[in-house]
């Protein structure tokens, strides 16, 4: 198997035909070093094989999701994209789906390994609500970055949506992401395959999802993965800045804990961006230690980390708010700075 996807997954024939492979650092197209440079230069085309969609439909879908997720969904605009933390009763983030709605219901994008467990967990609370939840394996996600690629899309699909918005063209949903020229398109396999081949033929370099994630790390946009699910509070990930958690809406799982920590000023951990000049990325949830010689206790955990071009590591971590520096378990000292998720204007 050239990469970790089931044989029946709709991405498989597309990527087999494009020469994708499972390299030393995940799915790539033959030169993962060049792919990482392309992402950080802002020009890339990424099959998002690590992401999946949930679909929520039914006349109670809006109220159900509003009551289960930490974001305030009552004012979600018809063309808006909204990250929304899904928390456990202790206030820890289970998943961080990105939502948008259409006339038929809601779409929720999240890591592929979390989609079915989140759907099963949400389904336990449907009870008598008129809601249907289902994984949408037939719709694929394609990340696109770069002014030339965006211009080519506009020639075919019409004007690009503003940052933080989406628009539909036929069967495609076109979402504009943080960053001045980044977007994701979700749609049926045939439509996504056609776009993928057209943009590759026009010179947009194809990259794997691991390389694509570097752009989010640069912008300090956090994600919750299976390894970090139910480990972090929303405030520690900076999710208030993204509107993924509301302190003014009614009850939802974890609301009491989240509000109490906020209003009592007891939030003791925050998001950091870190770098390291050499070595492999630490695993998610790996412990971070104080830079002082004596290590009595860990000061935080890795949220995500990826290889940078030229060697070294770029990552996000959650650690004590007063942490001036940190080291990995193997002693590598990290470049270390507080980070806030950002949503740059187009």
Q: Which domains does the chain have, with CATH numbers?
A: 1-220+233-264 (3.30.1360.120)
Q: Do residues 346 and 162 lie in contact, with contact meaning Cβ atoms separated by under 8 Å?
A: yes
Q: Tell how many helices (H) and how many strands (E) occur in the chain.
A: 8, 20
Query: Which secondary-structure segment (H or E) carries 137?
Result: none
Along the 346 residues of the chain, how does pLDDT read in single tens digits?
Answer: 346 788 888 999 999 999 998 877 788 999 999 999 999 999 999 999 999 999 999 999 999 999 999 999 988 999 999 999 999 999 999 999 999 999 999 999 999 999 999 999 999 999 999 999 999 988 999 999 999 999 999 999 999 999 999 999 999 999 999 877 999 999 999 999 999 999 999 999 999 999 999 999 999 999 999 999 999 999 999 999 999 999 988 899 999 999 999 898 888 999 999 999 989 999 999 999 998 766 678 999 999 999 999 989 999 999 999 988 899 999 999 999 999 987 655 4
Q: What is the pLDDT of residue 2?
A: 45
pLDDT at residue 324, as a whole number = 87
pTM: 0.94
**DSSP conformation letters of 149-171:** HHHHHHHHH-SPPPTTBEEEETT
168 contact partners, CB below 8 Å, separation of at least 6: 102, 174
Distance CA 180, CA 145 (A): 9
Measured on CA atoms in the order 250, 61, 173, 116, is the torsion positive or negative?
Answer: positive
Hey, what's the torsion of the CAs at 153, 159, 161, 162, to 10 degrees? Answer: 120
Residue 332's nearest CA partner among 273, 275, 272 is: 275
For the chain, what is the radius of gyration of the CA atoms? 20
Q: What is the pLDDT of residue 54?
A: 97
Are residues 283 and 302 in contact, defined by beta-carbon separation less than 8 angstroms?
yes
Question: Among 44, 55, 339, 52, which residue's Cα sits nearest to residue 218?
Answer: 339
Q: Which residues have C-beta within 8 Å of that of residue 197, sequence separation ≥ 6?
A: 18
Please report the pLDDT score of residue 343 as a whole number: 63
| Residue 1: predicted pLDDT | 34
Task: Tell me what pLDDT residue 3 has.
Answer: 62
DSSP string, 68-126: HSSS--TT--TTB-EE--EE-TTS-EEE--EEEEETTEEEEEEEHHHHHHHHHHHHTTT
Give residue 209's region: left, alpha or beta (phi > 0; psi -120 to 50): alpha
């Amino acid at each position: 198997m050239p990469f970790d996807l089931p044989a029946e997954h709709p991405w498989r024939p597309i990527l087999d035909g494009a020469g994708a492979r499972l390299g030393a650092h995940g799915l790539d197209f033959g030169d993962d070093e060049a792919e990482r440079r392309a992402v950080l230069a802002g020009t890339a085309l990424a099959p998002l094989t690590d992401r999946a969609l949930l679909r929520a439909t039914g006349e109670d879908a809006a109220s159900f999701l509003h009551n289960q997720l930490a974001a305030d969904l009552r004012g979600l605009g018809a063309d808006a994209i909204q990250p929304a933390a899904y928390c456990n009763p202790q206030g820890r983030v289970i998943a961080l789906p990105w939502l948008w709605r259409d006339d038929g219901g809601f779409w929720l994008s999240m890591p592929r390994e979390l989609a079915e467990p989140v759907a099963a967990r949400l389904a336990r609370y449907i009870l008598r609500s008129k809601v249907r939840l289902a994984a949408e394996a037939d719709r694929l996600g394609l990340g696109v970055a770069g002014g030339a690629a965006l211009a080519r899309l506009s020639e075919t699909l019409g004007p690009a949506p503003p940052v933080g918005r989406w628009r539909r063209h036929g069967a495609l949903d076109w979402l504009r992401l943080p960053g001045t020229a980044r977007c994701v398109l979700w749609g049926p396999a045939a439509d996504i395959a056609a776009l993928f081949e057209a943009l590759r033929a026009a010179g947009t370099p194809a990259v794997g999802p691991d390389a694509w994630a570097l752009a989010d790390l640069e912008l300090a946009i956090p994600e919750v993965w299976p390894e970090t699910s139910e480990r972090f509070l929303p405030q520690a990930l900076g999710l208030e800045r993204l509107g993924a958690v509301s302190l003014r809406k009614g009850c939802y799982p974890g609301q009491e804990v989240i509000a109490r920590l906020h209003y009592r000023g007891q939030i003791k951990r925050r998001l950091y961006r870190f770098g390291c000049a050499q070595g492999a990325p630490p695993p998610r949830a790996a412990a971070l230690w104080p830079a002082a010689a004596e290590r009595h206790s860990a000061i935080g955990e890795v949220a995500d980390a990826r290889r940078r071009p030229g060697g070294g590591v770029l990552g996000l971590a959650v650690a004590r708010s007063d942490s001036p520096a940190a080291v990995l378990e193997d002693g590598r000292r990290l470049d270390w700075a507080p980070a806030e998720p950002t949503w740059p204007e187009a």
